[in-house]
Each structure stands twice: as structure tokens, then as C-alpha cells.
Chain A
Amino acid sequence: MSTTWHVDATALASYAEGRCAPVVGASVEAHLMDCRECAAALRELLPHEPVERAWHAIRAHVEEPRPGFAERLMTRLGLSTETARLLGAVPAFRGAWLLGLFTVLVFAGFASLFAEDLGLALFLVVAPLVPVAGVAVSFGGDADPAHELVTVTPYSSLRLLLLRTTGVLATSVPVTVLLGLGLPGPAWLAVAWLTPALAGVSLTLALAPYVGTSTTAAVIGGTWSVAVLTANRLGDPVEVVEPLMQVLLAAVALVAAAAVLLRHSSLDLLGRHS
């Protein structure tokens, strides 16, 4: 609808600049509701860039949903929104998984405190396998439902793998070390599981393109569990993390890590398992 009179140019200019008296401003606003000519004249007076910016901001607010809890937490911890989003895409960084992980760890920690050797064996089984499981649900065709799409993006596969692996280690290692500090026995036990964990993670990554992360992690988990429980049955579960085993497992970790780095271009393609 158009009216027969229009706001004079001076009043409109002072309204656009936010300088007019409140009563005049209210009157101009009421008129603008019905007068297309004056509304168009006002648009000409308003600087376009801030209007567009405001419009984009409104659209962004409406259309861009709030990130999930895990992503928000990672951003608060100092990660960029982009890194948080890349990590938030995989199960290892979602609330349910993290909660399950900590529950298992706490259970293993308490078991080691109250059930002596068997409890200690349980802790030594679980602690190194937590990061292995985290990596298994973070990378490759088994873990990433959009793996094929992700593979053909220009983002470096090795960088993505290292980012996710670092994230898994960052979420699982400190808690496990803290729980380990409460173990009966020597203090070094709190970190003794780190070498088998690194060996397991490196092996999972090295073999993932050929047999898949889930299968590799399952085989590693089974083998490690049998080793620890056998040592426990023979007398002392701690034998699996004694110095000789540490050296052996460190060698496995190094060889597997070297294999990952040397053959990282294979991560760039869909593996045989994909």
C-alpha cells in the first residue's frame, strides 16, 4: 500500500543515521510500514555492507546449527573449529564412546585395586587396548562411514590419520596413566602399558589398508589378552611389560610406524578392505 504523503528527505536521512528524536523516529517507522516509496528511499540511504553482513549473520544463526557437545568441548580446549569438526566426525570423539571408554578404564582400575594379580592382569589387558580401539573406530573404511568421500578430498590422509591418532591418545592416555598411578606395585607400572599401546596403535595403522582396522584391532586385542592372561596364569602378569618385552614391543612400534610413513600413499586410496 502507498500513502499520499512521504517523509521529507531530511527527516529520512536523520532516521537512517539514527539521529532523529524518538517521537519522530516512531512516526517514521509507522509510516514506513505502509509506504513502499519511503521504504525504498530508506534502503538507498542505508549503507549496504552492514545490512548484508547483518543478513548473513541472521542466516548463519538460523541455518548453521550449533556444534555437538564433543565439538564444543574440543573448541573450548583450544582446538580450532575446523579441527574439532574433523575429529567430531569419528566415533572416538563422541560422547557415548568416551563415556564407555572411561567406564571400562575405571572398572579395570578398581579391579586392579581390589582383586590383586587378576585385577592387575585385567588392567594390563585393558589399558593398552583402549587407544588401539580408539584408533580402530577413528580411521579407515570400518570407522568412517564417509570414507570414500573423505579419501578423494585433497586433505592429506596422513595428516588426518595423525590428527585422529593424536586425538585418541590425548583422550585416553592421561586418564589411564592417572588410574595406573593407583595400582599396587612399582610406580613404573602406571606407564608400562604405553609401549604395548604404541605397538598396537602402529600395527593397526600399518595393517589397516590391507585387512581393515576392526580386524587388525580384534586380532591385536585377542593376542594381547591371551599373552597377559597366560603370564598371569604362569605366575606374574607384569612379565608382559618387563624390560625385554618393552624393547621387543618398542621395536614392533618403530617398524610399524616406519611402514605407515613409508607407505602413506596407500592411505590415499581405497584399500583392499574398503
Chain B
Amino acid sequence: MNTTTVALTDVGKSYGRADALSDVTLALRPGITGLLGPNGAGKTTMLRILATALAADRGTVEVLGSDPGTATGRTAVRRRLGYVPQETGFPRGFTAFSFLDYLAILKEWSDAETRHAEVRRVVELVDLTDVAPKRVSALSGGQRRRLVLAQAMIGQPDLLVLDEPTTGLDPAQRGRLRDVLGRAGESATVLISTHQTEDVAALCERVVVLDGGRVLFDGAVTDLVRQATGRVWMADDRHPAAQHAWRTGTGRVRNVGDPPPDAELIEPDLEDAYLLLVGDAAHDAGLEAVS
């Protein structure tokens, strides 16, 4: 399916004099797209705009055929949206089940029987059945994160906007989450913001990199990785020309940057490519500032 479900055109958002987003143009289709970028890149602002929590200051936004700039458009989007914010609290005294029931009521599931069946479905989906009757305050950080994901899955939404959904999850939980999201991405449009490049590599066919409120890269994950070919090498020590270098478990140093002529080149991964992209952008910005 190649239908565009989310379209941002020249979108901008400012907080005071600081631009959080500048002229962002982006089109999303069903499938899973990863959103990478350093802290302060504008990822959360962009996700909040797509999730209808914030309005853009400039440009046009179309989500699932509706304009979230209008009240009716927002409601239309919200009926088909699942959202995981970067951080959220929970009403005190609520159990995991009652928290999901609360959100399901707000998502207009008015019939108690079907609502409870849906809550049980999402509880099972994120593997929280055993703790559903427990108070949220008694759950671990990973369980709470899965609980937030569960509420996003209520009603099998057409658009999932997930801000760092894997934070705090152990590898087994992350694997389970990938399975859940992978299946959701077969029909829905899923946008995942994360600092975990391995999640993007494992789940996403497409990646968008934001930095300083601008889109640095938008394309296939393989295309981004390819950009780093010939720029990652192993050596016994850190090389002065490397933008990033770290000693690996083998005792040798992985260098990322512009290699010397005799470098022992290796295959780059997504993290290498991301570091190079952001590092090169910062370098170019520095040169522009000097000139």
C-alpha cells in the first residue's frame, strides 16, 4: 500500500524565539518509520503535532485525511490514533486494568462489556495479564511502559505515534514489543521515535533523522547505512581523524569518521551511519558559522 496517510509540508513550530521545527516536509505511509535525532532535535515536538497534542505554527499538516488544525479534524484523527508520549504519569490508586479502562472510556468505548474485552485483549498483547489487577504504583518501570503501549493499541488504531516506547524494557520485553509493533505495522502507519538505533534497524524499513528541527535524512534504512560505507574501521587505538571511537569487547577500537589510507575497513551499521550524519551536519553548521 503506497497511500500517504500523514503529510507535513513546511511545518514549523517555535517556543518563544527558539525554533523547535523548521520547514519540515514529510510524507508517511502504512508501515514502520523510525525517527532518530539527538536530544533537542525536535522529535517530541513533531510527534506531538502528529498526535494532535500541539498545533503547528506554520505549514500544513494532514493526518489520516483530516486537518488537525480544526476541532473536527482533531477529533477525527484522535478516533484513529494510538499515542505513547515520552513520559506520562498515572492516576493515583488506579490498577493497570482500571487505567486502561479509563483511557478506553475516553476513547469512546461506551459499552462496558466490549470495552472490558478490548482492555483484556491489549493487556494480553503486551503480556501484562498477570499484573492487570495490580495497582500501577506496584508495577516495574518496564511494565508501566508496556501499560502505556497497551493503551495506545486500544481499538487497533490506524496511526501509532510512539515516543521512545522501548525505554526501560529488558531485551526479552523489547523483543516482544518488536513483535507487537511489527504486526501493527502491517496495516497501520507507525512512527517510532527512539535513541535505540538497533530498534530502528530491526523494525523499520524507513528512517527519518531530525537535527536542530530540520530533516537531515529521510529514506530507507539501507540507504542511510550505505552512506557510511568506507568510513568505519577497526584499529588498535583511537584515530585522531575519527569523529567517534570506542573500544569494543575484542579489545580493538571501532573508529567512525574519515579513515586513513591503510585503514582496516569494516561494514558499517545504522548507529555508525547515524553518528556520521549528525556529526557531518554539526561540522557543516560550524563551518557556515565561521564563514
Contact = CB atoms under 8 A, between A and B. Distances in A.
Given A94-B92, A146-B99, A269-B53, 13 more contacts: A65-B95, A86-B106, A89-B94, A89-B102, A91-B92, A149-B103, A152-B78, A153-B103, A153-B107, A154-B106, A268-B71, A269-B54, A270-B48
B89 interface: yes
Interface in B97-116: 97-99, 101-103, 105-108, 110, 112, 116
A145 B81 CA distance: 20
A49 B38 CA distance: 54
Interface stretch (A28-36, A54-62, A123-131, A206-214): A54-62
A55 to B, nearest CB: 12
Given A88-B91, A145-B91, A146-B90, A154 B75 contact: yes
A85 B103 contact: no
B132 interface: yes
Contacts of B52: 152, 269
Contacts of B103: 146, 149-150, 153
B97 A146 contact: no
A86 B79 contact: no
A102 B110 CA distance: 33
A150 B92 contact: no
Given A56-B117, A86-B105, A265-B71, A146 B53 contact: no
Nearest to A272: B15
B43 to A, nearest CB: 15
Interface string A50-87: 00000010011011110110000000000001100110
A188 interface: no
A196 B85 CA distance: 38
A151 interface: yes
A5 interface: no
Contacts of A146: 88-91, 99, 102-103
Interface string B70-82: 0100110011010
Contact of A149 (B55, B74, B95, B151): B151
Interface of B: 48, 51-55, 71, 74-75, 78-79, 81, 83, 85, 88-95, 97-99, 101-103, 105-108, 110, 112, 116-117, 120, 123, 129, 132-133, 148, 151
A154 B106 CA distance: 7
Given A56-B117, A91-B92, A268 B74 contact: yes
A88 B99 CA distance: 11
A65 B131 CA distance: 11
Contacts of B116: 60, 64
A148 B93 contact: no
A152 B91 contact: no
Contacts of B91: 88-90, 144-146
B129 A152 contact: no
B45 to A, nearest CB: 11
A269 B75 CA distance: 11
Interface residues of A, number: 34
A64 B97 contact: yes
Contacts of A62: 133
10 contacts: A65-B133, A89-B91, A89-B94, A91-B92, A146-B89, A146-B99, A148-B85, A149-B88, A154-B78, A155-B105
B120 A152 contact: no
Interface centre among A64, A65, A148, A152 (most CB of B within 10 A): A152
Contacts of A154: 75, 78-79, 106-108
A162 to B, nearest CB: 15
A63 B133 CA distance: 6
A170 to B, nearest CB: 20
A28 B129 CA distance: 35
A89 B105 CA distance: 12
A269 to B, nearest CB: 6
